Amino acid sequence: MSGALGRVNPMADVTKRPVLASYENYLDAQKAVDTLSDNHFPVQNVAIVGVDVRIVEAVLGRMSWGRAAASGLFSGAWFGLLIGLLIGLFSSTTGSVLPIMLLGLLYGAAFGIVWGLIGYAFTGGRRDFVSRQQLLAQRYDVLCDASVIAEARTILGTGGGQPPQDPTATAPSDTALDRAADAVADAAPSADGPPATA
């Protein structure tokens, strides 16, 4: 194996590395890196870069006083249950943890409801909806250091997969340029006389 497990500069710009392969979703890119790792490839020479990243916010529903209270109740109840369990485990002399856990659950739920309502009141109606945000990319490039990219291509069985070409970036053909030049020449006034009128 040609790739040695060496130290990689953490401050280096990994986006300057050549593209090993491109994938439509993150899970496929992650699977490729897992495959390299399973074959004892020095994966510190690899990076996954999302290209054309955008934030997608899916609106789940309308926020209301009831929804704010319910959200606070559930989060507060879980937190109170956890605190009650910890206190019960370390301070109970009788070995009965359940009553302390139930008290923690009740106090946590009450505190959560109050906190949820206060938080909603402070929004002032500016954000009356519940949503979930995601970071999505058009594609995920797996980049690899040039010194070990040949070995990575062998392991993945790729022939040097490059990122897909942008269809809007194609150069016009020669025939299209010739037609444009002819159209300009036909529209130009002639030196022999006035332009013909229809």
Same domain, yes or no: 72 and 98: yes
Residue 169 falls inside a structural domain: yes
Residue 182 banded pLDDT, cuts 50, 70, 90: low
d(CA 106, CA 8): 51
Query: pLDDT digits over 1-31, tens only?
Result: 444 445 556 557 888 899 999 999 999 999 9
Cα R_g (the chain), whole angstroms: 31
Residue 9 falls inside a structural domain: no
Which amino acid is residue 59, in one-letter code?
V
Q: Kind and range of the H or E element at 23?
A: strand 19-23
Please give the pLDDT value at position 161.
44
d(CA 22, CA 62): 38
Please give the pLDDT value at position 176.
52
Query: pLDDT digits over 84-113, tens only?
Result: 888 888 876 666 788 888 999 999 999 999
- Domain of 43? 14-53+137-186
* Average pLDDT for the chain: 79
Residue 74 falls inside a structural domain: yes
Query: Residues with Cβ < 8 Å from 32, sequence gap 6 or more?
Result: 20, 21, 23, 142, 156
Domain boundary residue, one of 124, 149, 169: 124
Nearest CA-CA partner of 23 in 15, 34, 32: 32
Same domain, yes or no: 143 and 118: no
Residue 198 falls inside a structural domain: no
Residue 155 falls inside a structural domain: yes
d(CA 49, CA 69): 40
d(CA 90, CA 108): 19
Do residues 20 and 46 lie in contact, with contact meaning Cβ atoms separated by under 8 Å? Answer: yes
Which position has the token pair 């209301």?
A: 64
Specify which residues 59 forms β-bridges with.
131
Query: Mapping DSSP to helix (H, G, I), strand (E, B) and coil, where does residue 131 land?
Result: strand
d(CA 109, CA 101): 12
Same domain, yes or no: 74 and 115: yes
Model pTM score: 0.52
Residue 2 falls inside a structural domain: no
